[in-house]
Each structure stands twice: as structure tokens, then as C-alpha cells.
Amino acid sequence: MNKFNKTPTADEEVGKQLTFESFVSPPVIITGTSPGGLGAETARAICREHPALVILAGRDVSRIRRTQSLITDETPEVNVRILEIDLGSQRSVRKAAREINETREKIDVLINNAGVMASNPFSTSPEGIETQFATNHIGHFLFTNLIMPKLLFPGPGGGGRVINVSSSGHKRGPVRFDDHNFQNGIVYDKWKAYGQSKTANMLFSVSLAEKLGPKGLRSYSLYPGRILTNIIQNITVDEMKRFGWLDENGNMIQDPILKWKTLASGPSTQIVAAFDPSIEDYNGSYLDDCQIADDHAEPYALDKDGAERLWALSEKLVGQTFNY
């Protein structure tokens, strides 16, 4: 289906494999691009192919500048811009969307990568939404829809791609449509909340494919693999031992079943989702290990009725409707 080895092993693998015929200098936005994270490595991999423009989006501008410097040191000819956005704040999201809509470029690829995991204790966004749901899904839902005119354009194909980075963690829980805030924290479980947000990422792609596929938009969700990045900062050592990631001495367990990936090989599935022309007929699908993997997903995470319910809930939480 694609040109990637199923499980890239070398740190250089992604750069060597970035040779899709369809890669014609598309402008790309990637959220969550601080150094040491998957978004930053994805940006570096894309920039090796000299796209016309890459926009690094994130909350901490000083950290994103470090990513920008790493990229421009490697590929100085690439146009790399910074977009300040806090996905956990709808006010910040709206401001960032206005900035994008005021530019002249269309956007061929939006990679919704930013996220938080296992936030504890319970906390909420300025709008009163549980932090993981607000940051991982609601912020991306609002941003994507606000810049949709940039993602839909006339001509062959008619639209770009929206990639929602999910996780196998979606198996930890469906969207709690009637209680997304866990009774305002009374029954909060950080892992169920994470699962809810990652399920929402997948359902969002299902909705985008259903609503905007006829207009040329493609959207996919994906599991990037098990990678030690800065997103695990809220996971305790005891939890990592319980998950079977670390042995009793705190050393990483090199079990083939765990399929650990290096940070440099981690972007491979994002790259396939964003650029591989062979997956166009699988709009709304879920990818794992660079392959279409709907059979790896929980049924509730790809359910069209659930996707429609989530869309309605998301519109309610942002106070705006998006009709296509």
C-alpha cells in the first residue's frame, strides 16, 4: 500500500522513505512542535523534502523557536514559520485561526499532533472543559473548522488532508457523551479521560471524511507507535513498571511485543497518512505501523453515529456550528 517498511528501525529511515510522487511542496501545519516531541520530529522529516512552507504551531514560542532552529540548521532553504496556539484555550485557538486565514497560502496538510496525556489531578480549560478533552480534541476541532477555507480549494482533488494523531490509548475509553467532564472531576480517571480524548480524535476524522470527503478533503487518524517522548511526563515510574515498560530497576524492557520505536522513526505513520496517495480510498480510516488498520481499532472509535454525536457535542462546547 505504501513505500514504508512496516516497522522502520533506523533513525534515518523516515528521511530515506519520504519519496512519495504526490509530495509537491505542500504547505503544512503541525501542532505540538516542541523539541523532543513527535511533532518536531515529524516537521524535521517533512522539511528534508523541501516543502514550500511548514508552520510550527504550539503554546510555548520559545521552545518552538528551538525546533525552528534545528530545522533551519539542517535545511536552511525551507520556509519555517511559527504560530502561537494554546489548544486548551479557545480564545488562543481563535486568534491563531485568524492569523492563518489572513495569509495568502492554502494549506495542503494539517497534522493535529499536540496533546497531553494522563493529566492529574483533574483540571479544566478556561471554558470549563476537562483538560485532556479540551486540548487533545476540542481545540483541534475548533482550529480545523475555523481554517477549513484554507483546506478546501478548487481544482483537481479539491482539498487537503487533516491528520489526527490518536493512540492505542483510545481503547481505554469511549467518549462519555453525557458526562465528558467526569461529574466535574468527582469520578475522574486520568486514563479514561485520555482514552476519551483519543477516541474523539478518531471520530473527528470519521466526521471530516463523511462531511467533507465529497468536497475533496481527506482525513485520517493514527497510532504513531510506542515512543518515549515528552508526552509521558505525567506517567509515574510505578505505572511504567505496571505497564511492563520498565523492569524493577527502572530499565526499559526490550520486548518485541511492545514494538518500541525511536523518536526519529516515530513520524513514519504521520508521513504516510499525510502524503501517501495509495490510501485516498480509505478516507476516515485509522492507521497503525504505516498501514490502514481499522481492524486494530475499537468499534466505538470508528462509529459514524458516534462521530455525529461527537460533532454535535463539540459544536456545543465551542459555541459555534459548522455546516458543510
State how far the Cα of 184 lies from the Cα of 180, in Å rounded to an integer.
Answer: 9
Count of Cβ atoms closer than 10 Å to residue 322 Cβ: 17
List the one residue out of 108, 193, 122 whose CA is nearest residue 158: 108
Q: How many residues does the chain have?
A: 324
Beta bridge partners of 111: 30, 163
Which contiguous run of DSSP H or E holds residue 311?
Answer: helix 304-318
Exactly one of 188, 194, 223, 300 is catalytic; which is it? 188
Is the preceding peptide bond at 121 cis, omega within 30 degrees of 0? yes
State how far the Cα of 285 lies from the Cα of 209, in Å rounded to an integer.
Answer: 9
Written in H, E and C, the secondary structure of 165-212 is ECCHHHHHCCCCCCCCCCHHHCCCCHHHHHHHHHHHHHHHHHHHHHHH
For 320, the grid coordinates are: 459555534
Whether residue 283 contacts residue 218, with contact meaning beta carbons closer than 8 Å, is answered with yes
For 190, the grid coordinates are: 486520568
Q: Is 300 labeled as catalytic in the residue annotation? A: no
Terminal alpha carbon distance of the chain:
31
Identify the DSSP state of 143: H
- Written as one letter, the residue type at 322 is F
Q: How deeply is 141 buried, as exposed, middle or buried, from its count of CB atoms within 10 A (0-12, 13-18, 19+)?
A: buried
**Residues annotated catalytic, as ranges:** 188
